[in-house]
Structure 1
Amino acid sequence: MWSVYDEIKDSGTHQSDHTIGILIDGLFEQSGLQDAVSFLMGVERGESAPSVVSFNTIMSRFCKLGFVDIAKSFFCMMFKCGLLPDSYSYNILIHGLCIAGSLEEALEFTKDMERHGVQPDTVTYNILCKGFHLLGLMSGAREIIQKMLIKGLNPDHVTYTILICGHCHAGNIEEALKLRKEMLSRGFQLSVIVYSVLLSSLCKSRRAEEALRLLYEMEAVGLEPDLITYSILIHGLCKQGDVQRASELYREMYMKRIIPNYFAHRSILLGLREKGDISEARKYFDNLLTRDVTEDIVLYNIMMDGYVKLGNIVESTRLYKQIIEKGINPSIVTFNTLIYGFCKTGKLVEAHKMLDTIKLHGLLPSPFTYTTLMNANIERGNIHGMLKLLQEMEANAVQPTHVSYTVVIKALFKLGKLQEAVHLVEDMYAKGLTPDQITYNTLIKCFCRARDFLKAFQLHNEMLVHNLEPTPVTYNVLINGLCVYGDLMDADRLLVSLCDCNINLTKVAYTTLIKAHCAKGDVHRAVGLFHQMVEKGFEISIRDYSAVINRLCKRCLITGAKYFFCMMLSDGICPDQELCEVMLNTFRRVGDLNSVAELLAEMFKLGFLRK
């Protein structure tokens, strides 16, 4: 390159701007950054004619390397050399600033551009749109489009692509689909990439049917779906539970000579497993095995996890042995699955052995590894074992998660160390960890059991202070705590205040109170709450009626039991034989022979008695 350049100089041939630009670009390409700068400085000193093109080339390279400030210094140098930057010069800097996240400065340069008589073009506005998109500020991107239209410039293919991608990433699929229609109406054809982004967003929104229609549209306009397009759709269909349709697309890929990748294999296998048919998942897995695809450890992990969830640790262990025999490297997920399986089936010794095996494979236990083992030890009442694991976790520099801390809180409660549990939450905040609703719910439950309702409600208020929305479970815990360990009237007042504040409650909140009033013998209040529960639109089952009637029968509250029994029949819910026998025994016990006769007749109608 240098030889050719020297020959140009020696021959006296005029060096065009592009000649110097090519040379500078070439030096950068060869990592000769310092040589490129030295050459440009030589041009500036008059050894060659400086040009806007050469400055643009060097600015572009520095921006690509992330050195926007250096690019800006060369931009200023252009003025010193008596050169006026063109639209390309400005666009280079504006793009560099947008990529660096300095959007305000990029907008300032756009104004500076106009002050120097250089008009922003479509490329400038596209760059700014992309800058807003990268920061997730699609409202700002819309404002840029408005400015663009005022200037008499029309959005091009690139503009639409940026906007569609931006809205999809922001989760606004409807706006993205509107832009797609607008784009097609203006005669622009969407690229495979844009279709793939739209397909992905539709699948994430569980709108797989619409995604399939887009696939057919792609093919209709002559675009060939690629590996990524098919993989997105297969994954989306599997997540939606439509494994059959996903399998059809999977076969279609082979027909088009597109070889599915690990992503498609994982999606199909996970879909079959989530469908609840482990035997079908195993058939598919074994089929992959014959095609030497199962070198992918994730496929093994999916199958092992499926067996563990069904309580089949034996088959999960068998697959683990197969991994070792094949020489496939197990991942930490593999071991975590086995540890969870052993803990679930009460095999703590084997679970602890796996902790040593992890280290033998050169892997580090994850927070999940320790948390699972710690929780299993607590369930067994082995608090000492849990604390030992916590110490080991800290010694190995494995940072506990909020779940780990929740497990420790449970242990501290069992030891009666409630204040230490509260301090642990303070430590979490100090370490930058945010306790979740489960952490607080665990603590609230502990204080309710300790009959310290003042502290329980303080923790509820603390959640609100930290912008942590209490869940229906939080209120269920508080209501249940007041019913079992506190004052039933307080529980009633809490329910009323929650309803007044339009806080969504689950059916559990009502059933808990109804059972409590039945146990206390307050049939009138139980009936009122039951009707309130029905009015809220909750689905009422035989279990709800049985729970109430059983409690009323225990208290020998015959009138109340008969009232709920009649209500159940009028709602078209058929009682079971067990409930009828409970009521029959109660009527006999109190000597209510008329009710005995009536119930026997009802039982005969229901087919529970022979004539």
Structure 2
Amino acid sequence: MVHRFSTRLLNVCIGSLFKAHKLEKAESVIINGIRLGVLPDVVTYNISIDAYCCFGIDAGYAILHRMREADVTLDIISYNSLIASTTRNHQIDRSFDLFDEMIQRGIAPDVWSYNILMHDLFKLGKPDLANRIFKDIIIAEYSPSIATFNIMMNGLCKNGYTNNAFMLFRNLQHHGFVPELLTYNILVSGLCKIGRLRSARRVLKEIVESSHVPNAITFTTLLKCFFRKKKFEERIELLLEMKSKRYTFVGFAYCTVIGALIKIGKVKQVTEFMVDMTEIGIELDIVSYNTLINFYCKTGESEKAYKLLDEIEKKGLECDKYTHTIMIDGLCRAGNIKGAAQHLKYMNMMGFDSNLVAYNCLVDGLCKVVQIDDKIKVYKSMERYHFVAKLLLSCLRSGMKILKSAQRAVLLGLRYSGFPGEAKRLKSKIRIARILNR
């Protein structure tokens, strides 16, 4: 009894050490255990196989020799760990070799052996072979687990056979299969990708009518699909419907709907959703903040947008290039070209490697301000174009690639504003900057 308990304790210890990637310490524990008369069992070696497989199949396979030397009988878990390692590294031929070796040693594969193979074949884009494995499971009268069906449906969906996956799902239901939420989410995702929104909504209805509760993944998948199809009204309806049933959401769900409302100009509803987010205490990520900053910029409330930037900093989040680009675009829309240019300078100073969109927003904003304001003074027009021209040269000289359309916009702006000489000199400087950065 003491010996069995000691071996179990040995396995717990080495399992923890292997998870912490402390292989040498784990090996020393095994050696010390043997010295004390605590002999490792098949579980000990299986834990070792799984750990060493992280360094490649050969490292894991070497443990089998140690097992034979210690006269420990290999089992199905030993081979499943090795097969899983080969599938992770897409060594499908080696997987089948191990499968054959296992059978030759009199170890019958279990349903997980087949599941591992199916999963890898789907990942490698070989759905026909995976389907053959699935048929083998049925023919051999194994009891497929729910994971088997999930792997099958997920693999079919990701390989472009969503309709087949949906047919399989209905067929399984007809034979008494009770799907889990993961199964439903796989189908919702697959149906959304091929544009079968009605079917996806029907699956959502089935989830609601079943004992399962739709989660954030379910809603996010549908909301993203509505976004791609530009079905803004449907997206808002879905969120309101789910909200009325008191389902929980993540910030992404709210922010995607806010983004849709911004696009169709429903400012009042945006404010209501923002209040809801605050009341239920949703923690915003950087994507959510970007959506809200975009809203304030488009409604001309740049001061509130700047407050959000301060809030981001206080929370310890890092602004990405989209945050700054949204700010630049918003300032341009508000006619604050100088503020937008200064923000672009700050963006460059912070080391963002790609701000082409931000630069084009600035150029576009400058051109619109000059064209729209008929009363603008000539020297002020020149001042604005000169300011952006300096930024353009600064970026080009630093090796940054600027879109040619943006370069042409500045040159044309100078010419049409009555400064052809400035445009000619700028063109020459652009050419030199290109030559120097080849």
TM-score higher than 0.5 here? yes
Equivalent residues of 2:328, 2:362 under 8 A apart: no
Query: How is 1:130-529 mapped onto 2 (pairs within 5 angstroms)?
Result: 130-237=119-226, 240-241=231-232, 242-254=234-246, 258-286=247-275, 288=277, 298-305=287-294, 315-324=300-309, 331-343=320-332, 348-358=337-347, 364=352, 366-369=354-357, 371-372=359-360, 376=364, 384-385=389-390, 387-391=392-396, 394=399, 400=401, 404-407=402-405
CA-CA distance at 1:114 after TM superposition: 2.2
In the alignment, the residues of structure 1 paired with residue 31 and residue 389 of structure 2 have an alpha-carbon distance, to the nearest angstrom, of 72
Task: Pick 1 or 2: higher relative contact order, CA cutoff 8 A, min separation 6.
Answer: 2
Evaluate the alpha carbon distance shift between residue 304 and residue 184 of structure 1 in structure 2; reply closer, same or farther with a 3 A threshold: same
Determine the structure 2 residue equivalent to 1:25: 15
CA offsets 1:210-248 (integer angstroms, 9 cap, x no match): 223212222333222234334444454565321442233
1:320 partner letter: A
CA RMSD, Structure 1 to Structure 2 (Å)? 4.1
In the alignment, the residues of structure 1 paired with residue 272 and residue 170 of structure 2 have an alpha-carbon distance, to the nearest angstrom, of 43
Equivalent residues of 1:250, 1:260 under 8 A apart: no
In the alignment, the residues of structure 1 paired with residue 126 and residue 244 of structure 2 have an alpha-carbon distance, to the nearest angstrom, of 39
CA-CA distance at 1:151 after TM superposition: 3.9
CA-CA distance at 1:136 after TM superposition: 4.2
Evaluate the alpha carbon distance shift between residue 122 and residue 284 of structure 1 in structure 2; reply closer, same or farther with a 3 A threshold: closer
CA-CA distance at 1:121 after TM superposition: 2.1
Determine the structure 1 residue equivalent to 2:74: 85
Determine the structure 1 residue equivalent to 2:375: none
Evaluate the alpha carbon distance shift between residue 406 and residue 203 of structure 1 in structure 2; reply closer, same or farther with a 3 A threshold: farther
In the alignment, which of 58, 63, 67 is matched to residue 74 of structure 1? Answer: 63
Determine the structure 2 residue equivalent to 1:37: 27
TM-score (norm 2): 0.73
Describe the SS at the equivalent of 1:315.
coil
Evaluate the alpha carbon distance shift between residue 119 and residue 290 of structure 1 in structure 2; reply closer, same or farther with a 3 A threshold: closer
Q: Does 1:61 align with 2:46?
A: no
Q: Does 1:98 align with 2:83?
A: no
CA offsets 1:240-277 (integer angstroms, 9 cap, x no match): 321442233342353xxx44220121122122223343
Residue ranges of structure 1 left out of the alignment (5+ in a row): 1-6, 429-611
Evaluate the alpha carbon distance shift between residue 249 and residue 197 of structure 1 in structure 2; reply closer, same or farther with a 3 A threshold: farther
In the alignment, the residues of structure 2 paired with residue 295 and residue 331 of structure 1 have an alpha-carbon distance, to the nearest angstrom, of 14
CA-CA distance at 1:160 after TM superposition: 0.5
When structure 1 is superposed on structure 2, of 325-334 and 71-80 the one drifting more is: 325-334
In the alignment, the residues of structure 2 paired with residue 35 and residue 290 of structure 1 have an alpha-carbon distance, to the nearest angstrom, of 50
In the alignment, the residues of structure 2 paired with residue 102 and residue 16 of structure 1 have an alpha-carbon distance, to the nearest angstrom, of 37
Equivalent residues of 2:337, 2:366 under 8 A apart: no
When structure 1 is superposed on structure 2, of 14-23 and 106-115 the one drifting more is: 14-23
Evaluate the alpha carbon distance shift between residue 35 and residue 276 of structure 1 in structure 2; reply closer, same or farther with a 3 A threshold: same
Evaluate the alpha carbon distance shift between residue 161 and residue 247 of structure 1 in structure 2; reply closer, same or farther with a 3 A threshold: closer
| Greater Cα radius of gyration, structure 1 or 2 | 1
1:33 partner letter: L
In the alignment, the residues of structure 1 paired with residue 88 and residue 225 of structure 2 have an alpha-carbon distance, to the nearest angstrom, of 31
CA offsets 1:569-611 (integer angstroms, 9 cap, x no match): xxxxxxxxxxxxxxxxxxxxxxxxxxxxxxxxxxxxxxxxxxx
Length, aligned pairs only: 396
Equivalent residues of 1:90, 1:109 under 8 A apart: yes
In the alignment, the residues of structure 2 paired with residue 45 and residue 68 of structure 1 have an alpha-carbon distance, to the nearest angstrom, of 29
Among all aligned residue pairs of Structure 1 and Structure 2, give the percentage whose two residues are the same amino acid: 20
CA offsets 1:177-223 (integer angstroms, 9 cap, x no match): 12212332332211111212222333344433322321222233322
2:237 partner letter: R
CA-CA distance at 1:152 after TM superposition: 4.2
Residue ranges of structure 2 left out of the alignment (5+ in a row): 371-384, 413-422
